[in-house]
């Protein structure tokens, strides 16, 4: 396993749409394992393949405190949404930025996907797990949570990150 580099906003590669996985083979399993290791090391609770510059429809999620409930979703698709929820979101591709996402996330969802065994499964999720899955699926579609914010907030975030990047050079 390896820790992968995470792309940071405003990298244009974060806005590319990921391609479906045709077959869950060894390369996909290795990518998913590397993504999980990267997510845990960051540390984070979710990571999508496009964030590590892999245009595959794969996400990994673990919202547990103990970091022992890893879930991998290949070609995830939300089949049902219910309710609305507001939540302060952050993102490994937008480090150090946390903002309220208002009325853009469903409170409860059903998602279908393939597991690492290549078999389809369905999962019902609510609360933080539902938000995290929706957030990561957005990445597969080339969308970041900050795009739900006002143009003013987006510009402020971009400026803040550019200043931080200059300081770190």
Whether cis (ω within 30° of 0) applies to the bond prior to 31 is: no
Show the CA angle centred on residue 73, arms to residues 100 and 142, nearest 5°: 50
Write phi, then psi, for 113 (nearest 5 degrees): -165, 180
DSSP secondary structure code for residue 164 in this structure: H
Active site (annotated) includes residue 88? no
* Sign of the four-CA dihedral 119, 45, 139, 26: negative
Could you say which of 26, 124, 136, 165 is catalytic? 136
Structure tokens at 44: 């984070």
So which residues are the catalytic ones?
136
């Amino acid at each position: 396993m390896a820790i992968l580099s995470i792309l940071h906003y405003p990298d244009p590669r974060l806005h590319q749409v990921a391609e479906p996985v045709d077959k869950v083979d060894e390369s996909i399993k290795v990518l998913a394992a590397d993504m999980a290791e990267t997510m845990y090391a960051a540390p984070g609770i979710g990571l999508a393949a496009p964030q590590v510059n892999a245009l595959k429809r794969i996400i990994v999620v673990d919202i547990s405190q103990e970091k022992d409930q890893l879930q991998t979703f290949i070609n995830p698709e939300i089949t049902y949404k219910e309710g609305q929820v507001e939540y302060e979101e952050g993102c490994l591709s937008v480090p150090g930025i946390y903002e309220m996402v208002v009325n853009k996330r469903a409170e409860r969802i059903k998602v279908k996907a393939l597991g690492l065994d290549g078999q389809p499964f369905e999962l019902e999720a609510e609360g933080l797990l539902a938000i995290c899955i929706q957030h990561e699926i957005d990445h597969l579609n080339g969308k970041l949570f900050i795009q739900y914010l006002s143009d003013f907030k987006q510009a402020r975030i971009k400026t803040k990150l550019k200043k931080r990047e200059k300081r770190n050079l």
